[in-house]
Amino acid sequence: MMPMVSASIDTVALRHNLSVVRDHAPGTRVMAVVKANAYGHGLGPVATALGEADAFAVARLDEGLLLRAAGILKPIVLLEGVFDREQLEVAVAAGFELVVHVPEQIELLRTLAPGARCTVWLKLDSGMNRLGFKGRAFALAWAALQDLAPVRLPVGLFTHFGNADARDPGDTLAQLQCFQEATGLLGGERCLANSAGLLNFPAARGDWVRPGLLLYGVSPLPDSTGADLGLRAVMTLQSRVIAVKDVAAGERVGYGGTWTATRRTRLAVAAVGYGDGYPRSVGAGAPVLVGGARAPLAGRVSMDMIGIDVTDAKIAPRLGDPVVLWGPQLPVEEIARWAGTVPYELLCGISQRVAVELR
Ligand SMILES: *Cc1c(COP(=O)(O)O)cnc(C)c1O
């Protein structure tokens, strides 16, 4: 039975995108970021398809455990680290690598049994002011870790960019300089760049890069699409036409009656809405593909449905025809602009009602 709404996942495209990342960052290892259910694409299947990655990164412990349960044996990095004794023990038993960004996490590491072994990445706050130690606190944290028997030495050196997609490189160059000043003489592997960082700042590639979005075939840079970067969109969000009707000029369509037909209009109704993660903020006029051709939304997105103006469609839509909300032929970057958000939010926002299927 075919589901009404599906997110079909192109694993060949995933692997292609990993190879594009490797072309952009030759000689560095790739920590594939698969947090938030692999940006909505399905954690286990994506990690399995990306088996050639050198490591995986997730935000939280439970995501790491799901990866192990999916049979992933590669290194797994917890980007936020752990926050209590129980999490620490579970993480060490699972062999996870931990980002350490607050002093409390160093105190937690002190409670490990002397025989335990743990790989850690010490995170510098180089200017984003989210996670990490700043300046002298970073140096003190680094020194404290040297004396902890369970911590493998040298510790990894880690930071994150807050603005690497900006046209003005100033913020990232300042973050890079801060990182170099804080870590210059220290041993240990370096990991700095997210997708935008590895594209825009060759000097930030370090020993490891940490791409997320690029792997899914989506551009992190403004006014560009994954295709412009040689990537292939991995997810196609798709539904079907469930009604076709004509409305007279002057009739209004959808909740609130905010859209009025200016002419006799042929309307297709498709079974997808904000209950599936297709955002309500994508307003009338936004494009969808009906039978492979673009047509604009008419009226508001409802929970389970959208209306589409197909008056100008060359081939009259029929019940059951596929409707694509985003995919290789309709970049999610473009739909994100319609919704006033970033493609990240659309991808990881698809709901439980959507069947995620490998192809
Ligand atoms: C999510 C995340 C990434 C990946 O970012 P992209 O922009 O998707 O490449 C890298 N590092 C950290 C710390 C993250 O939280």
State in words which class domain 11-222 has.
Answer: alpha beta
Q: Which of 183, 177, 198 is nearest to 24 (CA)?
A: 198
The per-residue pLDDT for 129 is 95
Q: Is the CB of 287 under 6 A from ligand 1?
A: no
pLDDT above 90 covers a percentage of the chain that reads 96
What residues form DSSP beta bridges with 290? Answer: 293, 323
SS3 42: coil
Orientation of helix 135-146 relative to helix 103-110, angle to 10°: 10
Q: What is the pLDDT of residues 26-43, one digit of tens each?
A: 999 999 999 999 999 999
User: Average pLDDT of 96-100?
Assistant: 98
Ligand 1, atom 3, lies closest to the CA of: 194
pLDDT, tens digit, 9 for 90 and up, residues 303-352:
999 999 999 999 889 999 999 999 999 999 999 999 999 999 999 999 99
Tell me if 267 sits within 8 A of 245, measured CB to CB.
yes
pTM recorded for the entire structure: 0.97
Question: Per-residue pLDDT for 2 more than 90?
Answer: no
Bridge-partner residues for 32, per DSSP? Answer: 56
Are residues 165 and 196 in contact, defined by beta-carbon separation less than 8 angstroms? Answer: yes
| Mean of pLDDT over the chain | 97
Residues in the chain: 359
**Could you tell me if the CB of 160 is within 6 A of ligand 1?**
yes
- Domain definitions of the chain by residue range: 11-222, 235-358
What is the second-level CATH architecture of the domain 235-358? Beta Barrel (2.40)
- Give the residue-averaged pLDDT of 101-128: 96
Nearest residue (by CA) to ligand 1, atom 6, is: 212
Task: Answer whether 88's CB lies under 8 Å from 113's CB.
Answer: no
Per-residue pLDDT, averaged over 101-109, amounts to 98
Residue 150 pLDDT greater than 80, yes or no: yes
Q: Is 220 in the pocket of ligand 1 (CB under 6 A)?
A: yes
